Amino acid sequence: MNALERKIMEQGVVVGKDILKVDMFLNHQIDVELIRQMGEDFYAYFRNKPINKVLTVEASGIAIACFTALKFGVPAVFAKKGYHKNVGSNVYSAEVFSFTKGISYRITVMKDYLTKDDHVLFVDDFLANGAAAEGIMQIISQAGATLEGIGIAIEKGFQPGGEKLRERGIDLYSLAIVDQMEEGKITLREHEQ
């Protein structure tokens, strides 16, 4: 069990049937040492790829992106949510529908910070249905950049996002995969040997 998996088992709280509350170390209060370790783990897995930019979506992805980018020695860029008057039309953008929250929102990245020469690692805190990843891939494609891989802290293995991305041949590495959350009990996927 890695540090994130231990933390999920010790402190994660199941809300309803399919929400894992991890506010106490990831989504509100941040366990900085744990996030630093995640950055190291993503670096260890993706280090042989020519990654020159780490991309995420605000807000909870930012800390993970920063520690990962620090290890690679590259910038972290976060997609902003919603329209921003001050950026004009100089942006790439995509519509994302959040099944968890039941709302649609737009994510944008300024053209200055993503170009066809970029080799991108996308990182995020959760992977559920994969809608945020789809939106980010649209933005990467608009920029003509290359997606080198996706690093996720917590994949919810009982939702379809992870499978859809792996079927498309995307190099997806999740630090913890939650396979089940029945009656408040969390079941993590065993690591492949």
Binding site for ligand G4P (CB under 6 A): 19-22, 27, 57, 59-61, 98-101, 125-132, 156, 161
Shortest Å distance, C-beta 171 to ligand G4P: 17
Give whichever of 76 and 127 is closer to ligand G4P, judged by the CB atom: 127
Sheet bearing 76-81, strands edge to edge: 91-98, 103-110, 76-81, 53-57, 119-127, 146-156, 172-182, 185-188
Q: Which residues pair with 20 in a beta bridge?
A: 14
Q: 176 preceded by cis ω (within 30°)?
A: no
Minimum distance of ligand G4P from residue 148's CB (angstroms): 19
Q: Considering the complex, state which of residue 100 and residue 141 has its C-beta at the smaller distance from ligand G4P.
A: 100
One-letter amino acid for residue 114 of the chain: L
State in angstroms the smallest separation of the CB of 18 from ligand G4P: 6
Give me the least distance between CB of 96 and ligand G4P, in Å please.
Answer: 7
* Closer residue to ligand G4P (CB): 130 or 157: 130
* 63 vs 22: CA distance, rounded Å: 14
